[in-house]
Amino acid sequence: MKIIIKPFSEIMIKSKFVKKQYLKNLQKNILRNLKELELKIEVVVFNDKLEVNYNSENENDKKEIIKKLKFTIWIENFIDVQDFQIEDDFLKDENPKRVFDFVFQKAKDFYLDKIKNKSFCVRVKRSWIHNFTSIDLEKYIWWGLKKFWENANVKLKNPDLEIKIEVKDKKIFLVKEKYQWIWGYPVWTQDKVLSLISWGFDSWVSTFKMMKRWCKIDFLFFNLWGSAHELGVKQVSRYIWKNFWMWYDSRFITIPFENVIKELLEKVDSRFRWILLKRYFLKIADKLAKKHWYLAIVKGDSLGQVSSQTLKNMNVIDKASDTLVLRPLIWDDKQEIISITKKIWTHDFACNMPEYCGVISDKPATWASLEQILEQEEKIDEKILDEAIENWKIEFLKKIFAENLEWKQEIEISYLPAWNEVVIDIRDEEKIKKNPIHLENTEILQIPFFNINNEFWKLDQSKTYLFYCDEWILSKLHGLYLKEKGFKNIKIFRFLKKGCEVKSGE
């Protein structure tokens, strides 16, 4: 069995020497990716393609090979083909009918059932010298197939099914299926970069795009909300590394940022919090880049998508770093980004992950000046950033096992507080003032989420506590974190339309 691989088209315009080196490295990458399969596999390099030959007729084996090739991102497309040798006597005959009959029979065996009730066309590509033309062979095959199904129509433009056949020398290649895939460079052409990752769609796509350009990616994660937050991001990081990037020993770097969040929420004007947070991300990334020889910092910003991603705000944010900042998504809209997550299979992860812009900032500034931001930064002692770096954690993704990334705890959701249950409103003070909650016959405590982990143990542990916030995911994350620490008396509180209601403050 045979699969023909077309490499990234940008490779094919390189010089002869460079192209040869690229294709050899792609050959090594494919073999490395397929080595887990217990099959005898050969990858042959040609001038403009690669062929994967394997010794199995088993459909499951073919599916596994195709799956592995789909995770090899330096392939532009590949085709599943079946090849047949044309007998010399057929080729020597002045009348090409015997060759036509031979090719037609092979095409009929595979395609006859597929063209029923469909429009189709036949495309033949030839190389070498034959006593017939490609068009003659195309006509012979589609006339023959049409005789079997009267309701199958030949349509040369936009048919339902395109039958592709290649005739090369004395061989016929019947194209069973073509797989269009994600292209990129197959060699170590670039150096180390540090990719800032978070929950959501964007950072995974920006990371993947840098992988396509063959940068050596390490993951930098700022932990804002505890163990559950870190666990989810680490899970997706390992997924991307395992499927696309196992050839580089990627590191996962965690920076604890809960105390920085607390400082921002207590001391900084809410309009500027998100911009300051992004500057602090860059300041720490810049320090790591200088110390560990990263040549660039990668961010998932898309121009104008959120308040911090206006040109003026990005300009202010970037002044926090001397290291080059790369934004692979800068011109992409959200739908384009989401479509890529579906191709790289991170879409379902991202759909269940929260965005934190609304939690950090209320009515964030879209046109902040550097003077305004520096004035706000003076309110915070930046020694807190040094403390965060001192408490960093670095892990190699290859040493993180999938079973360690499963969250073992569950947390109950309550829609109506019962006797001996206390609601804890974990929103920040501004949001509580703007929209306080009132519940009859229920005690309500106000402990901001950035203090809940430190304050909870001081409460009466004979009672059950229901965490509440507008973005209920924060209640879940902090609840799961405390349950991991051994507290069993925690639930999440959410409102229903019936039973109780939120009364807005004046």
Q: Is 121 a catalytic residue?
A: no
Three-state DSSP state, 36: coil
pLDDT tens readout for residues 108-128:
988 888 888 889 999 998 887
Least confident among 182-191, 366-375, 376-385, 464-473: 182-191
Is 50 exceeded by the pLDDT of residue 494? yes
C-alpha closest to that of 451 among 427, 471, 469: 427
pLDDT of residue 406: 57
Do 25 and 186 touch, CB atoms closer than 8 A?
A: yes
- For residue 414, list its beta bridge partners: 493
Which of 215, 351, 469, 500 is flagged as catalytic?
Answer: 469
DSSP state of 181: -
How many angstroms from the chain centroid is the CA of residue 445? 40
pLDDT of residue 405: 55
pLDDT of residue 191: 85
pLDDT tens readout for residues 6-44:
887 777 788 888 888 888 888 887 888 788 787 889 999
| Residue-range domains of the chain with CATH | 2-180 (3.30.2130.30), 192-405 (3.40.50.620), 413-493 (3.40.250.10)
| Residue in the structure block whose two tokens are 């350009």 | 213
Is 90 exceeded by the pLDDT of residue 433? no
pLDDT of residue 376: 92
- Tell which wins on pLDDT, 476 or 299: 299
Do 264 and 382 touch, CB atoms closer than 8 A?
A: no
C-alpha closest to that of 117 among 170, 153, 66: 153
pLDDT-derived band of residue 503, with 50, 70 and 90 as boundaries?
very low
**How many Cα atoms occupy the beta-carbon half-sphere of 471 within 13 Å?**
19
| Residue in the structure block whose two tokens are 């921002």 | 264
The CA-CA-CA angle for residues 208, 210, 212, to 5°, reads: 75
pLDDT of residue 355: 53
- Tell which wins on pLDDT, 360 or 395: 395
pLDDT of residue 31: 85
pLDDT of residue 366: 83
pLDDT-derived band of residue 409, with 50, 70 and 90 as boundaries?
low
How many angstroms from the chain centroid is the CA of residue 413? 30
Contacts of 236 (CB under 8 A, 6+ apart): 197, 204, 346, 349, 350
Q: Phi/psi of residue 401, each to 5°?
A: -90, 145
C-alpha closest to that of 384 among 266, 258, 273, 269: 258
Beta strand 251-256 with 393-396 is antiparallel
Three-state DSSP state, 75: strand
pLDDT-derived band of residue 239, with 50, 70 and 90 as boundaries?
confident
pLDDT of residue 463: 92
pLDDT-derived band of residue 375, with 50, 70 and 90 as boundaries?
very high
pLDDT of residue 498: 41
CA distance 329 to 320: 20
Is 70 exceeded by the pLDDT of residue 502? no
The fraction of the chain above a pLDDT of 70, given in percent, is 90
pLDDT tens readout for residues 174-232:
888 888 766 665 545 678 999 998 877 888 889 888 888 878 899 999 988 767 778 77
C-alpha closest to that of 166 among 260, 80, 235: 80
pLDDT of residue 499: 40
Do 299 and 196 touch, CB atoms closer than 8 A?
A: yes
pLDDT of residue 341: 81
